[in-house]
Each structure stands twice: as C-alpha cells, then as structure tokens.
Amino acid sequence: MSWIIPLILTLFAYPVKKELVFENRAYEPEIKSIQLYSEKSEVRSHLLPAVTQLNQNDLVLEFDDLRNDVNSYYARIIHCQYDWTASSLRDLDFMVDYNEFNVNDYEFSSNTQTPYVHYRFNLPRVKLSGNYLLVVYRNGNKSDIILSHRFMVFESRTSLKRDSQTSGALTLRSTNQQLNFTVDYKGLEIINPFESVHVVIRQNQRWDNAKFDVKPSFVREDIRQLEYRLFDNDKFFTAGNEFRFVDFRSINFPGQNTDRIDKTSRPYHLWVQPDASRANEVYSQYPDINGQFYVENRDNGNDETASNYVDVTFTLKSSELEKTKVFVVGAFNQWIKNQESEMNFDPITSTYQNTQLLKQGWYNYQYLAQGSQLLPTHFEGSHFETENFYEVFFYYRPFQPNADLLVGYFPIAINPR
C-alpha cells in the first residue's frame, strides 16, 4: 500500500485537466450564482437574456467564489457560429481591445455563514454581431477555466411578422406551442438562403431544448421573404407548465413553499415544501419567472454580499420509476442534468430528494424525467395555455466575414399576462 501516498501527492500536484465546453458552465464547485444578463433600467433587469444590440455595452457578469480569498481572474471572448462551435475569425476581426480583461471588481461577503467573494464584470464592446462565449480563467492561464457563458450580439437588419395559424393533431395542440412567422430580409443581399441562413429558436432562455437550424417552409426571393410554417411535430415546443417556485429571500421568515429551516447546521438547511406530480391536474395560472432565479435578501437588504448560502432540499413524492432518472433543474443550475441535479429515491418515505447549495432569493424550478418510456414533463404536465417566452435568432453567413452574423433577434411572448 506504499504507493497510495505518492499517488495522492501526484493528484494534488497535477489537478484534473479542464476541457472548455461551449456552454454555460461552472468548472469548479466553488463558483456559484452565475448570472450574465442585459443591464437595463427596467425592474428585475437581471432576468433579461444575455442578448444585446451591436455597439451597446450593457451586458454584465456576476458570480460568487466560495473561497474567502481573492483570485486573479481574467476574461476573454470567443466568436462562435450559430451552432456554438468556434468560428475561424481572429480576435482582431471582432474585438475592439486586446482580448484579455481583468475581472477586478469584487467585494467580500459580510456576516454570512459561508464566506465568499462576489465578482462583477462589465463585458466589453465587440465589432461584429453573432454568438459569443465568455470564458473566465485564473492567473492568466487559459487552461485553468472557472466558468464559461454564452451571450449574443445582434443587428436589426431584418424584421419578423408572426402568424397565429396552427396545425397538427388536436392532442398535440393541447400540450404544445407552435410558432409560425415570416422574416423580411430586404436590408440584406442573401444568396441561397437555405445554405447561408440559420434560424434558432429557444424557449425560456434554455439551450437544452432549443431548435437549431430551422429551415424555411417557403423562400420568396422576389420579395425577399422567408416563411416558417412549423407544422412538423419535431418543430413544436412542449408548452410545459408554469414553473414551481420557492421563496427564501428571508432566512428569518422564509416565504412561500418553504417547509422548515434548520439554523443549527452550517450552512443553514432549508426544506422545500414536498411536491407531487402535476401530470393529471388541469392547468392552473399563476405568475412565474420562466425558470429563472434572482438573488434577494430581505433580512438586511444587501443582496450581493450579505445573502447567505443555504442547503436547499427538494422533495418529490412519487413511487420509484424503473429505468428512469429524475432531475431538479432551472436556470440556477443551467438546466444541466448531471450527478449534482439528479434526485435520489428514498424507499422509506417514497420520495425523490436532492439538495442544492443556493444563495438567498426566489427560485423557479421543475422536475424532469429521463427514461425511454416517459416524457421529460412526466411530473409537470403540459398545457397550451402556459405562459412562455420565446426568442428567434436569425443568422446569416456572408462571404466576408466567413462567420454567422446575428442579423435579427425577435423576442416573442406566448400567452403573456
């Protein structure tokens, strides 16, 4: 057994290599509460998507590092194609400044059970529209990545007109939502739209169920219009249900859907009111924030640096499902279905449970099933009446530069309240 100690020393001396993925991701468990949003004057602007118009500087990154010491973090930007692969552009093609920036706006937490450092970074301006990946890394070492996050920069060179006409089987119309629209590109000289144009549609700022490279149903080159009649079943979006929510903006007086809190543990431990399947329930309208979350502290008013981190346990009452995994997901964990978000079945209580370390605030979430015999919405149900937020991204790849430019961005609210 004398080989164990050298092996341990080797593992500490050579940390696991981090491989960059072109997704919203934290690469270390200490990096929490990542938000990249468009900072506007509206209330709750941090719920807005990470989308901005060309020549504007209103995107902000915020995150916490649960290590109570300051790290030397840097950021760089990668231009991407419509499908989130790296483009062939050089930094000088799309950057105004040298492509490395100090993330040096930080503040220590105060009087919190778990100490942390809160970082804030205003993204620089870029010269071209398109998809971008923001990468933050340590000590100038580009391979020592701590987080990556997608954002989009658009130009208003096209216009969109919606068509409310629907089609498909009645059962599909009752549980799905369909988007039909026409894009006018009179401001562009587009050759061969089927090859040079790419349309992406996403629901509630999610990438895990986005529709990529949606092709037009009709091309009217004489009047420069593309019609998208998305009648095929694979182009429908599952409408889903209004998101579940829990409110622990106050630790002293936890809000709606909290069950109990244990203040003797460090960090505090909060249990969400046990949930049950909504699959067979009729649609019930109530306000949600479309799967997002926001940090807020009602105990002393300082949201960013005085908010506590809390172990939050989600509980779903259900019999055990064979060959099926159950996950609790939302914007708080980037909708990622992995070991951290997977729920474990407890045969004694006949419940699925999962515990997440979350910062004080208001959180939307849902339970997703993953199995060959079940739909992901097995526990949530799906209703065409559900309020959802959609975004249509219209990309065009000209001969120069040979990269996908985002020449149209169209937010669409379905069933707005």
In tens, the pLDDT along 105-122 reads 999 999 999 999 999 999
pLDDT on residue 279? 93
149 and 163: one domain? no
pLDDT on residue 166? 53
Mean pLDDT of 271-294: 95
20 and 143: one domain? yes
Residue 185 is encoded by which pair of tokens? Answer: 């590109």
Distance of alpha carbon 340 from alpha carbon 29, whole angstroms: 10
Which domain CATH number covers 233? 2.60.40.10
Q: For the chain, how many structural domains are there in total?
A: 3
361 strand-pairing partners:
295
Whether residue 375 lies inside any domain: the answer is no
Burial 208-237 (b: 16+ CB within 10 A, else e): eebbeebebeebeeeebbbebbbeeeebbb
19 and 149: one domain? yes
Out of 154, 180, 204, pick the residue that ends a domain. Answer: 154
With a cut of 90, say whether residue 291 has pLDDT above it: yes
In tens, the pLDDT along 235-264 reads 789 999 999 999 999 999 999 999 999 999
With a cut of 90, say whether residue 232 has pLDDT above it: no
Whether residue 192 lies inside any domain: the answer is yes
Q: Are strands 309-317 and 275-276 parallel, antiparallel or unpaired?
A: parallel
Residues with Cβ within 8 Å of 81's Cβ and at least 6 positions away in sequence, in order, are 87, 130, 131, 397, 403, 404
User: Over the chain, what is the mean pLDDT?
Assistant: 91
Whether residue 376 lies inside any domain: the answer is no
pLDDT on residue 173? 66
Residue 408 is encoded by which pair of tokens? Answer: 């149209």
Mean pLDDT of 154-165: 89
Out of 138, 154, 170, pick the residue that ends a domain. Answer: 154
Residue 172 has phi, psi (to 5 degrees) of -70, -40
Measured CA distances, 380 to 118, 240, 282, 283, 311 (Å): 34, 7, 11, 10, 24
267 and 188: one domain? no
Whether residue 109 lies inside any domain: the answer is yes
146 and 218: one domain? no
346 and 217: one domain? no
148 and 52: one domain? yes
161 strand-pairing partners:
182
Distance of alpha carbon 393 from alpha carbon 203, whole angstroms: 12
Half-sphere exposure for 185 (CA within 13 Å, toward CB): 24
255 and 362: one domain? yes
Measured CA distances, 166 to 85, 161, 170 (Å): 33, 15, 10
Rg, C-alpha atoms of the chain: 23
> What single letter denotes the amino acid at residue 370?
Q
Distance of alpha carbon 178 from alpha carbon 164, whole angstroms: 9
Whether residue 359 lies inside any domain: the answer is yes
Whether residue 108 lies inside any domain: the answer is yes
20 and 147: one domain? yes
Whether residue 3 lies inside any domain: the answer is no
394 and 307: one domain? no
More confident residue, 235 or 52: 52
With a cut of 50, say whether residue 171 has pLDDT above it: no
Q: Give the pLDDT band (50/70/90) at residue 295.
A: very high
Whether residue 325 lies inside any domain: the answer is yes
Percent of the chain whose pLDDT exceeds 70: 93
Cβ count near 392 (within 10 Å): 21
Contact 383, 105 (CB under 8 A): no
The whole model's pTM is what?
0.92
The answer to which of 34-43, 195-204, 312-321, 360-369 has the lowest mean pLDDT is 34-43
133 and 207: one domain? no
279 and 359: one domain? yes
Per the structure, the complete domain to which residue 350 belongs is given by 244-370
With a cut of 80, say whether residue 5 has pLDDT above it: no
Which domain CATH number covers 67? 2.60.40
In tens, the pLDDT along 310-341 reads 999 999 999 999 999 999 999 999 999 999 99
Q: Are strands 117-122 and 59-65 parallel, antiparallel or unpaired?
A: antiparallel
